[in-house]
Amino acid sequence: MTQANPAERATETTPERTHFRACNLCEAICGLEIRVRGTEILSIRGDDADPLSRGHICPKAVALKDIHQDPDRLRKPMRRTADGWEEISWDAALDLAAERLVAISQEHGAASIAAYYGNPNVHNYGSMTHGSRALAPLKTRNRYSATSVDQLPHQLLAYWMYGHQLLLPIADIDRCDYFLVLGANPMASNGSLMTVPDFRARLKALQARGGRMVLLDPRRTETAEVADAHHFIRPGTDAAFLLGLLKTIFDEGLAQPGKLAPFADGIEAAAQAIGAFEVEALSVHCGIPAETIRRIAREFAAAKCAAAYGRIGVSIQRWGTLSQWLIQLLNIVTGNLDREGGVLFPQPAVDMIDSPASKPGHFASWKSRVRGLPEFAGELPVAALAEEILTPGEGQIRALLTSAGNPVLSTPNGAQLDRALDSLEFMVSVDIYLNETTRHADLILPPTSALEHDHYDLIFHVFAVRNTARYSEPLFDKPEGALHDWEIFEGLGARIAQRLGVKHQPSPRPDQIIDMGLRSGPYGGMRKHPLDLSLTKLKQQPSGIDLGPLLPSLPQRLQHADKRIRCTPPEVLAELESFASELPEALVDGALSLIGRRHLRSNNSWMHNSARLVKGPTRHQLLMHPQDLAARGLLDGSAVRIRSRAGEVVVKVESSDEVMPGVVSLPHGWGHDRSGTRMGVAQAHAGASNNDLTDETYLDRLSGNAALNGVPVTVEAA
């Protein structure tokens, strides 16, 4: 809880007010109760009446105040000059951006313009509704986002199997009996592609009713400490473990798809393809005993209701899409898809899946110019961005728009991208900070803070463990002369259209779009639902509305025209053959496997400029098993040099049996020692960027998602 500053007590005669909103700093969307006097935030605590978070918050919530009040936060447009940065007016800034982008596009073609959208965009609904409008008149296909360093395999499988990129089954943890988790740390993340605030309390309830959670992870994480069982698994080998589970289930006659069988196509073909593997060989590959694999398979199949959930550690690896397919298949063949206590599809109030404006997705409709990497849903893998800037020729990227992203620290081979950005003819960034990426911009356009605009979570209700809806009014008025993010995108798009001589149709405001979404959604009057939900009604419930637990919805919820599940996408079966042929592959002699790690107080690089979130013990050192330290003659606490094919960094090493032998762990998002930034707290806690080690050529071949885990590295004394 934040405390009032004694120096501000002159305002104590001003009446206090209490504001309710959702925290938008991570996927948990916890409800907050904020006490305010004038412009002073007195306290931030959990909202006990929020039907999803139920009073829970994590330390990040107070960072809303820190970011809002941060003296380093940009508040006016900034233009780079020969003498440094200068403030300019919004009209001048938007005119300059439009003029330069149009000129470059007309000289070099539409492909010379690109955009990158960072993780915070999905936490700001104005960016979600209007972000694509900024460059729409230029008709560029060069779009990139944090999706391809994160959850791309999830979305690709949802599109192939269920007919829509956002139709992801969510673990019904509140009624589950057996929870199998791979490569996820919900104690630190509060869930990811599974919006689950207060995971600890929900897990305790699961265990109190006799349920169990089994975790597979190369590190003994915060989640491992509360799990019923934790098993170390070699990075990048989740597919082998999952194949062992399915092989056992098929061989022992434990497959019981139940009600799914009439509309699930390809289960027999999957069983036949998996039948060629042997559990013993898979065991050697993943490092988990064969008897353990078989036991977990039997437990999962025998549970009354079970859910398998694999998150970022499963996706950001060489076999990410294959592994995520096996998780979906495991839930299907055991009958746990669309089962209460298994995995279910949420029914959000604003339904981004079953609506006329829905975008189900498409794959490989075009490919990147240099390497031929496939697009998905209109975006190319961000691992291709640097080479598309650096490689001369027709279609070379010469201008870039970034929005709320810091890809120099968050995408593979960040040092290469750092160099690439420096070579651009023009770069404009919609961002509140001068950071490691935006320092390359010619123009920075800072939107209002999260507390100065309204909010509705378009995305995370789609992934939530319970159906709820909540609209947040702005806490503070928009400062005079400021613009919201959506106004920046709309204004830039209008100016570009004007210069191109094309028609620009103004878009409704975000709140108007949400109101229409609520009215036409499953609980709205246009669907004749008795709740007759609208934005007006939602505003009357500032803590949100409980819409009930997740419910079975198949086959009606499926988005394929024939309302069937495609259990065996041909692309995945081909990938399974590739995996079989490469199964005996071993690590390079002397190499270790690099993995990242998540901390409760961190989500992206913005968090590192909050003094309260970075204080305490150092969190950006390398974790290394004592056996691996001894084998290399290294001392606990000493400086070490980590090398990969892509680059090298020097960090301090900490001896830890949290990581399994052969694995080293370095968190992402650090590396704040580059010059030309204005993030004072972050610079004082610089650390090293693990994405100076990750490799832009090391990908999940099927989707193009970056393989940031399992990167081969060597470690030696610095």
At 180, which CATH number? 3.40.228.10
Q: Determine the Cα–Cα distance for residues 127 and 320; give it in Å rounded to an integer.
A: 28
Query: Would you place residue 4 in the very low, low, confident or very high pLDDT band (cuts 50, 70, 90)?
Result: very low
Strands 545-549 and 466-469: antiparallel
Q: Place 9 in a pLDDT band, splitting at 50, 70 and 90.
A: very low
CA atoms within 13 A on the CB side of 641: 6
Q: Is 388 helix (H, G, I), strand (E, B) or coil?
A: helix
pLDDT band at 13 (very low <50, low <70, confident <90, very high): confident
pLDDT (tens digit, 9 = 90+) per residue, 144-202? Answer: 999 999 999 999 999 999 999 999 999 999 999 999 999 999 999 988 999 999 999 99
Mean pLDDT of the chain: 95
E strand or H helix at 467: strand 466-469
pLDDT confidence of residue 603: 75
> Are residues 210 and 309 located together in one domain of the fold?
yes
Is 290 in the same domain as 246?
A: yes
- Of 47, 69, 91, the one marking the end of a domain is 69
Q: Rounded distance, CA 676 to CA 679, Å?
A: 10
Give the pLDDT confidence score for residue 11 in this predicted structure.
54
Residues 121 and 195 in one domain: no
Query: How far is it, in rounded angstroms, from Cα 196 to Cα 303?
Result: 22
Residue-wise over 460-497: b if at least 16 C-beta within 10 A, else e? Answer: bbbbbbbbbbbbbebbbeeeeebbbbbbbbbbbbbbbb
Separation of alpha carbons 95 and 89, rounded Å = 10
Model confidence band, residue 33 (pLDDT cutoffs 50, 70, 90): very high
Closest CA to 459 of 115, 64, 155: 155
Q: Does residue 266 carry a pLDDT above 80?
A: yes
pLDDT of residue 193: 94
Cβ–Cβ < 8 Å for 75, 92: no
> Cα separation of 120 and 146, whole Å?
9
Residue 299 and residue 183 share a domain: yes
* Same domain? 107 vs 237: no
Q: Please report the DSSP string for 134-191 in residue order.
A: TTGGGT--EEEEGGGGTTHHHHHHHHHHHSSTT---EE-TTT-SEEEEES--HHHHS-
Radius of gyration of the chain (CA): 25
pLDDT at 588: 59
**Cβ(242)–Cβ(180) below 8 Å:** no
Instruction: Report the pLDDT value the prediction gives residue 396, as an integer from 0 to 100.
Output: 98
Range of the domain at 195: 169-344+561-578
DSSP 659: B
Q: Quickly state the pLDDT bin for 589 (edges 50, 70, 90).
A: low
Q: What is the CATH number of the domain that holds 661?
A: 2.40.40.20
In sequence order, the 6+-apart residues with CB closer than 8 A to the CB of 584 are none
Residue 622's closest CA among 656, 578, 571? 656
What's the average model confidence in pLDDT over 532-545? Answer: 97
pTM of the model: 0.96
Strands 16-22 and 31-37: antiparallel
Token pair of 507 as six digits: 């878009």
| Across 370-396, average pLDDT | 98
Q: DSSP secondary-structure letter at 478?
A: P
| Helix ranges restricted to H, 615-696 | 626-631, 680-684
CA distances from 166 to 154, 267, 462, 557 (A): 9, 23, 8, 12
DSSP 379: B
622 with 651, same domain: the answer is yes
Q: What is the pLDDT of residues 679-695, one digit of tens each?
A: 999 999 999 999 999 99
Instruction: Examine residue 225 and state whether it is found in any structural domain, yes or no.
Output: yes
Shared-domain flag, residues 598 and 565:
no
- Of the candidates 228, 188, 234, 214, the one whose C-alpha atom is nearest the C-alpha of residue 625 is 234
Contacts of 59 (CB under 8 A, 6+ apart): 600, 601, 612, 613
Last-in-domain residue among 50, 69, 88: 69
Tell me whether residue 383 is in a domain: yes
Asked if pLDDT for residue 3 goes beyond 60, the answer is no
Residue keyed to tokens 């892509």: 646
Q: Considering its fold, how many domains does the chain have in total?
A: 4
Does residue 151 form part of some domain? no
Look at residue 500 in the predicted model and tell me its pLDDT: 97
Name the domain boundary from 35, 69, 103: 69
Distance CA 190, CA 451 (A): 22
In a domain? residue 159: no
Q: What is the pLDDT of residue 10?
A: 41
The whole-angstrom separation of Cα 279 and Cα 294 is: 8
For residues 199 and 401, the answer to whether their CB atoms sit within 8 Å is: no
For tokens 């010469």, the residue is 398
Stated as kind and residue range, the H or E segment containing 126 is helix 125-130
280/293 Cα distance (integer angstroms): 10
pLDDT digits (tens, 9 = 90+) for 436-454: 999 999 999 999 999 999 9
Q: How do 40-46 and 31-37 pair as beta strands? A: antiparallel
Q: DSSP secondary-structure letter at 448?
A: -
Q: Is the pLDDT of residue 7 over 50?
A: no
What share of the chain has pLDDT > 70, as a percent? 97
- Tell me, yes or no, whether 256 and 280 share the same domain: yes
Residues 692-706: pLDDT tens digits?
A: 999 999 999 899 999
Note whether 146 and 118 are within 8 A (CB): yes
Q: What is the pLDDT of residues 309-364, one digit of tens each?
A: 999 999 999 999 999 999 999 999 999 999 999 999 999 999 999 888 889 999 99
Mean pLDDT, residues 502-531 taken together: 96
Omega of the bond leading into 522 within 30 degrees of 0 (cis): no
* Residue 631 forms part of a structural domain: yes
643: left (phi over 0), alpha (psi -120 to 50) or beta: beta
pLDDT range class, residue 598, cuts 50, 70, 90: confident
* Neighbouring C-beta atoms of residue 86, cutoff 10 Å: 11
164 is a domain residue: no
Spatial CA neighbour of 642 closest among 583, 711, 714: 714
Domain identity same for 514 and 477: yes
Task: Give 271-287 pLDDT, tens digit per residue.
Answer: 999 999 999 999 999 99
On the 0-12 / 13-18 / 19+ scale of CB atoms within 10 A, 645 is middle
3-state SS class at 456: strand
DSSP lists the bridge partners of residue 595 as 665
Provide the terminal-to-terminal Cα distance of the chain, rounded to the nearest Å. Answer: 41
Q: What confidence tens digit (pLDDT) does each residue in 445-480 have? A: 999 999 999 999 999 999 999 999 999 999 999 999
Residue holding tokens 């969307």?
29
Q: 30: Cβ–Cβ under 8 A, 6 or more apart, which residues?
A: 22, 23, 46, 47, 50, 52, 53, 56, 57, 58, 61, 190, 197
With respect to residue 131, please indicate whether it lies within any of the assigned structural domains.
Answer: yes
In tens, the pLDDT along 409-440 reads 999 999 999 999 999 999 999 999 999 999 99
- Same domain for 502 and 404, yes or no, is yes
Same domain, 519 and 542: yes
* Cα separation, 516 vs 537, whole angstroms: 13
- Please check whether residue 640 lies inside any domain of the structure: yes
| pLDDT surpasses 70 at 213 | yes
Same domain, 377 and 321: no
Share of the chain above pLDDT 90, in %: 93
Give bridge partners of residue 717 from the DSSP assignment: 640
Residue spans of alpha helices (H) in 501-569: 510-520, 535-539
CB atoms within 10 A of CB 456: 26
CATH number for 110: 3.40.50.740
Question: Does the pLDDT of residue 6 top 90, yes or no?
Answer: no
Instruction: Return the closest-CA partner of residue 435 out of 455, 467, 408, 469.
Output: 408
Residue whose entry in the numeric block shows the structure tokens 């592959």 = 585
Q: How confident is the model at residue 378 (pLDDT cuts 50, 70, 90)?
A: very high
The pairing of strands 264-265 and 565-566 is parallel
Q: What is the mean pLDDT of residues 478-501?
A: 97
**Which pLDDT belongs to residue 5?**
44
